[in-house]
Amino acid sequence: MRAILQRTLEASVSVNNQTTAAIKSGLLILLGVEDGDVAEDVEWLSGKVARMRIFADEEGKMNRSVTEAGGGIIVVSQFTLHASTKKGNRPSFLRSAAPAVSEPLYERFCATLETETGTPVGRGIFGADMKVALVNDGPVTIFIDSRNRE
């Protein structure tokens, strides 16, 4: 399971010109589920994201979590995070989990993150053609992979 965390000044996701989620300061998280990911990946990744200290404290140092900073959260499913570009110029998405597997894990990640942070998690619509807008703060962008637990 892969996540790209983007610290935002504002972010939103819309489908068919209808906004499904919008936040001011907080995190926009792009989440990709890989074939073979399980509930343990959800638990580890959601905990890691909830405790990630990438927001400024009183001294301007990245020392606060999204919860401590009072930020909002949006999670958008993105199977393209598992693209393989090894052969040719057309990416392969064979490593991405099928929707029957990835959608329940995506929903579980969102629910677990809500529990971990005590913050409602905005969502896109799984499998839809979404338009994502953000003003990246910093910019701060962090990549986390549950198969490479650094």
**Looking at the annotation, which residues are catalytic?**
78-80
Token pair for 2? 């892969």
Report the distance separating Cα 101 and Cα 91, nearest Å. 21
Q: Which of 76, 97, 82 is nearest to 31 (CA)?
A: 76
In terms of DSSP bridges, do strands 26-32 and 18-23 run parallel, antiparallel, or are they unpaired? unpaired
